[in-house]
Amino acid sequence: MKKVVLFGAGLVSPPLIRYLLDGGFHLTVASLPGSGARKLVDSHPNARVLPLDVNDRDALREQVAAADVAVSLLPAPFHPLVARACIDSGVHLVTTSYVSPEMRALDAEARDKDVLLLNEMGVDPGIDHMSAMKVIHGEQEKGSKLVGFSSWCGGLPAPEANDNPFGYKVSWSPRAVLLAARSSARYLLDGQIVDVPPEKLFTDPAVVEIPDIGTLEGYPNRDSVSYLDTYGFDNGQVRNMFRGTLRNQGHCQLRTQHSQLGLFDDATEHDLTGTTSKALMETLFGAPLEDT
């Protein structure tokens, strides 16, 4: 029986846990104590839960070495720690996150040791890449001349569960959701690179009509230009390259207002002991709020 070690038991882990256990794999879920991992495996005979802090390099390497494949669903900054242990142990790694500079720096050594560091295997990034390549390869087989590419992807709450002003619910790392709101973006339009600074990310959303869904809005998704090579495009021929994120209408306006109010600032720390949400907002805004 193949052994898989999964690092992290957050919001995105339950479907993978079910998939692996239903597939007959032996699964070790390694996560911080109190993460709820034990409830996720539900006493399955082929699963075990192990309290683990990945900053403990020896404990991390021990669990990686005992597995055939490692999966990291930890917050992205921790992936290089797991990747380092995988390279040292000769074990392949899968993550759902974008390839960071730290992860990219490990590529040559991983290749030398025949270790696969397979990143961007989630929904976005991940399934969007698969669907993109299916379309691209299909057109190439027809002999089409590819001069532009545009794709949209987004995780949205079901209509019956769309019950908050954001039109959105957190299904992955809450901190990463907020950090993504501070990302810059880049895409190719009519042969020219367009750079979007973080403070402008949500200010001019596109209106996107989706069949059988309705009207949504979208904004640029990080660096689309870097995928020209990844998708195998002829850079001199392609004049438009855009990857976008979909959200329900009104989401981008709220995000813009939150950014302007400084709600995405992580440079200032606040003592929240005994503090109400209203009091915190008054501190951030520098003005009293009226009771409603």
**Helix count and strand count (H, E) for the chain:** 11, 12
Q: Which residues on neighbouring strands pair with residue 28, listed in sequence order?
A: 5, 48
Q: How confident is the model at residue 263 (pLDDT cuts 50, 70, 90)?
A: confident
The whole-number average pLDDT for the span 194-200 is: 96
Q: Two tokens at 243?
A: 């990857």
Distance CA 70, CA 7 (A): 8
| 105-155 residue pLDDT tens | 999 999 999 999 999 999 999 999 999 999 999 999 999 999 999 999 999
Q: How confident is the model at residue 101 (pLDDT cuts 50, 70, 90)?
A: very high
Contact in structure between 284 and 262 (CB atoms under 8 Å): yes
pLDDT (0 to 100) of residue 10:
92
What residue ranges do the domains of the chain occupy? Answer: 3-118, 139-260
The answer on pLDDT for 162 being more than 70 is: yes
Of residues 292 and 117, which shows the higher confidence score? 117
Sheet holding 117-118, edge to edge: 47-51, 26-31, 3-7, 69-72, 92-95, 117-118
How far apart, in Å, do the first and last CA atoms of the chain sit?
A: 60
Distance CA 105, CA 161 (A): 41
Distance CA 130, CA 119 (A): 13
| Mean per-residue pLDDT over the chain, rounded | 94
pLDDT (0 to 100) of residue 140:
93
Distance CA 170, CA 272 (A): 22
Q: Is the pTM of this model over 0.85?
A: yes
Q: How confident is the model at residue 292 (pLDDT cuts 50, 70, 90)?
A: low
124 is catalytic: yes
The answer on pLDDT for 61 being more than 90 is: yes
CATH 3.40.50.1220 fits 139-260, yes or no: no
Q: Which residue has the tokens 């069949």?
A: 211
Q: How confident is the model at residue 291 (pLDDT cuts 50, 70, 90)?
A: low
156: Cβ–Cβ under 8 A, 6 or more apart, which residues? 162, 167, 168, 216, 246, 247, 248
| 3-60 residue pLDDT tens | 999 999 999 999 999 999 999 999 999 999 887 888 999 889 999 999 999 999 999 9
Q: Check whether the bond before 125 is cis (ω within 30° of 0).
A: yes
Among 53, 88, 124, 234, the one annotated catalytic? 124
Whose CA is closest to 63, among 1, 2, 3, 110? 3
Distance CA 64, CA 62 (A): 6
Whose CA is closest to 93, among 60, 124, 123? 60
Of residues 155 and 281, which shows the higher confidence score? 155
Amino acid at the residue 133: M
CA dihedral of 85, 87, 89, 94, whole degrees rounded to 10: 80
Q: Check whether the bond before 211 is cis (ω within 30° of 0).
A: no
Alpha helix segments (H runs only) across 127-275: 127-141, 174-180, 227-230, 251-260
**CATH pick for 3-118 out of 3.40.50.720, 3.90.1150.10, 3.40.710.10, 1.10.10.10:** 3.40.50.720
pLDDT (0 to 100) of residue 255:
93
DSSP of 69-125: EEEE-S-GGGHHHHHHHHHHHT-EEEESS---HHHHTTHHHHHHTT--EE---BTTT
pLDDT (0 to 100) of residue 34:
80
| 62-73 residue pLDDT tens | 999 999 999 999
